[in-house]
Amino acid sequence: MKRVNGIGVSPGISIGRAFVIERKTMALTGILLQGEAEKKDEIEKFAHAVKASIEEVEGLKARAEAAREREGIDILETHIELLGDPQIEGDVTVKINEEGKTAQDAVIEVIGSVVQLFKDMDDEYMSGRAADVEDIGNRILKHLQDMSETAGSANMVSGISGAGGDRPAVSKPGGFPQQFEEDTILIAEDLAPSDTVSMDIKKVTGFATQTGGKTSHASIVAKSRGIPAVAGCGGELRTIVSNDTIILDGLEGVVIVNPGPELLDAYLAKREAYRQNGLLLLSLKDIPAVTRDGTSVKMLANISGPEDMEEVFGQGGEGVGLFRTELLFMGRDSFPTEEEQFGFYKKTALQSRQKPIIIRTLDIGGDKQWPYLGLPKEQNPFLGYRAIRICLDRKDLFLTQLRAILRAGVFGDFRLMFPMISSVQEIRRAKQVVAEAKAGLVAEGIPYVENMPVGIMIEIPSAAVTADLLAKEVDFFSIGTNDLCQYTLAVDRMNEKIRDLYDPFNPGVLRLIRYVIEQGRQHNVHVGMCGEMASDPLATLLLLGMGLEEFSMGPSSIPAIKNILVHNSVEAAKVICKEVMEMDSSQKIQAYLKAHLQEIRK
């Protein structure tokens, strides 16, 4: 028996036989083109490969539409847009024309660069989009290889794009059988988003991958179809061979290989208990999140675009606690215009059922550096020129976004939120730009929301400890626990050597969170939380006991958090909070909270 630990990305328990997916990768050929005729031929090959890829994805989309698989449709629509991205086309063409690269090499280098750009982002949702870019690159390469007489002689190496130093490689797509055996559990380095959409998964009861995370499209599809999944298992997963007996626990993020009969029986019972609990959670979808002693708690969702709204309401969400606007700015060679932004925000508003939407202004820089920004390279971009700092410096860009948001708010219930605020002076300057945007719209006779509520993210320690001062300037706070934890503990959570030090249950982090909530209450400022901690069942009662009024998370996490809230009281949560805040270590705190959570689940 062997136990492999990973990240539970789709809850549930699966028991079955392993099917190991092996991938080969396409490496650079190193061939240099001779003459304009060869360059023209390669550009035509690339155009043909893109056209064939789009037709292929449109066929997959038609199948997803027939099956009414909303998540799959959205993913494939994104892939069609990426395949037609003029920035990728332009960069590939430049490499062919100016550097003499073959179409295959140009695609590998361009896609590899974009994939790495996404992977380097600290925002988990954005880093998860690397798989989409890699997927469309693989598809183009497949069609180029089909057309190339010399493709068979290209060296084949292992690794993901960028892993080979000067000779990056991109995974070759394909390799899935048309039919799986009953109770199959897929084992792979990673699963491409289109793989999870297109393959026949009726007999697939789960999957485990070496890489990936909670917000990858493979994970999103798994959640939508109720397939347990574990990601980020690392190299230990390579020891599994096809037909091994597998227990896959998507709740704990564990893969157990060839378990003994007693453990197998225990997990069969655990699987049935989870199924029964799922029926209970489903019954809570339309029930308000009200505690046993009558306190209402808002259950909101984090989204990146209008296509996410259907899932928000399908999971029982009451609105949006974080609308990330960055997705609209990606995959382009220039900033979106005011009309493009207005249309994007308006579409979201029209699908919001007049429920509140907290829309965050542009959070760029740091981990989100796009070529057209022209940002200088910084030694420590997370402590540098980013988010509100860029917006206040590039007021023309800030004004454009603010005007679009104020206009789109006419069609919904928008609340404006600024990221990375560190001082009273910054929020005052930001509010002054809002006033300028409004004045411009008035002068032009364009309808807009005059009294849109304004709030800030509390994600920098200086903002947390001056919450009493900032509360006098805004209508609401939203605690971003991801960055607040990172900055408070001086831990880069993307750094594998110190990732274990990233700990939201550290007493210092908890004290900052409690102080922000207390100051919000004292100054009549609404306080919510949109960081990962809001979706952690271990933290739910602790946060409720601190007085948190609003939880915002990925839509699929809403039912489980609501279940904890409706079966407990604020008074009991206050007792838990008091006990926790007297403890001096994260280990003690988490053990105490786990004991209470287990009692709830009995």
Give CB contacts under 8 A, 24+ apart, made by 386-390: 386/420, 387/362, 387/363, 387/419, 387/420, 388/361, 388/418, 388/419, 388/420, 388/421, 388/426, 388/430, 389/365, 389/420, 390/362, 390/364, 390/365
**Region 169-185: what's the mean pLDDT?**
62
- Most distant CA pair in the chain, distance: 78
- Do β-strands 476-479 and 454-458 pair in parallel, antiparallel, or remain unpaired? parallel
Identity of the residue numbered 586: S
Does the annotation mark 530 as catalytic?
A: yes
- Give residue-wise pLDDT tens across range 481-522: 988 998 999 887 656 577 678 899 999 999 999 999 999 999
2-22+176-256 topology per CATH:
Glucose Oxidase; domain 1 (3.50.30)
Residue 440 CA to residue 404 CA, distance in Å, equals 12
Look at residue 586 and tell me whether its pLDDT is greater than 50: yes
**Per-residue confidence (pLDDT) for residue 165, from 0 to 100:** 33
Lowest mean pLDDT among 175-184, 447-456, 553-562: 175-184
Q: What is the pTM of this model?
A: 0.67
**Per-residue confidence (pLDDT) for residue 379, from 0 to 100:** 66
- Give residue-wise pLDDT tens across range 107-125: 999 999 998 888 777 666 6
User: Which CA distances in Å does 115 have to 133, 169, 360, 505?
Assistant: 6, 11, 25, 32
Catalytic residue among 233, 391, 485, 530: 530
**Region 236-245: what's the mean pLDDT?**
93
> How do the domains of the chain map onto residue ranges?
2-22+176-256, 25-153, 295-601
Catalytic residue among 217, 233, 577, 596: 217
What's the 3-state SS for 66-112? Answer: HCCCHHHHHHHHHHHHHHCCHHHHHHHHHHHHHHCECHHHHHHHHHH
* CA-atom Rg of the chain in angstroms: 25
Residue 226 CA to residue 278 CA, distance in Å, equals 10
243 class by beta-carbon count within 10 Å (0-12 exposed, 13-18 middle, 19+ buried)? exposed
Give percent of the chain above pLDDT 70: 86
Cα–Cα–Cα angle for 277, 283, 288, nearest 5°?
120
Residue 259 CA to residue 263 CA, distance in Å, equals 6
Which of 197, 172, 171, 148 lies closest to 48, judged by CA? 148
**Region 41-70: what's the mean pLDDT?**
83
Instruction: Specify whether the CB–CB gap between 292 and 567 falls below 8 A.
Output: yes
CATH-assigned architecture of domain 25-153: Orthogonal Bundle (1.10)
Residue 105 CA to residue 26 CA, distance in Å, equals 9
Look at residue 11 and tell me whether its pLDDT is greater than 90: no
**Region 377-395: what's the mean pLDDT?**
80
**Per-residue confidence (pLDDT) for residue 371, from 0 to 100:** 65
**Per-residue confidence (pLDDT) for residue 204, from 0 to 100:** 86
Sign of CA dihedral 60, 65, 69, 70: positive
Residue 31 CA to residue 371 CA, distance in Å, equals 27
**Per-residue confidence (pLDDT) for residue 494, from 0 to 100:** 58
**Per-residue confidence (pLDDT) for residue 125, from 0 to 100:** 67
- Do β-strands 356-360 and 7-10 pair in parallel, antiparallel, or remain unpaired? unpaired
Which residues contact residue 122 at a Cβ distance below 8 angstroms, ignoring those fewer than 6 apart?
A: 366, 367, 382, 482, 486, 493, 494
Instruction: Specify whether the CB–CB gap between 537 and 561 falls below 8 A.
Output: yes
Residue position matching structure tokens 């971009």: 381
Which of 275, 277, 255, 272 lies closest to 16, judged by CA? 255
Residue 527: enclosing H or E segment and its boundaries? strand 526-529
Q: What is the DSSP letter of 65?
A: H
Look at residue 375 and tell me whether its pLDDT is greater than 60: yes
Range 295-601 has CATH code 1.10.645.10? no
Which of 428, 421, 504 lies closest to 465, judged by CA? 421
How long is the chain?
602
Q: If you write DSSP's letter for every residue of 110-159 in order, what string do you get?
A: HHHHHHHHHHT-SSHHHHHTHHHHHHHHHHHHHHHHHH-TTGGGS-B--S
Look at residue 156 and tell me whether its pLDDT is greater than 60: no
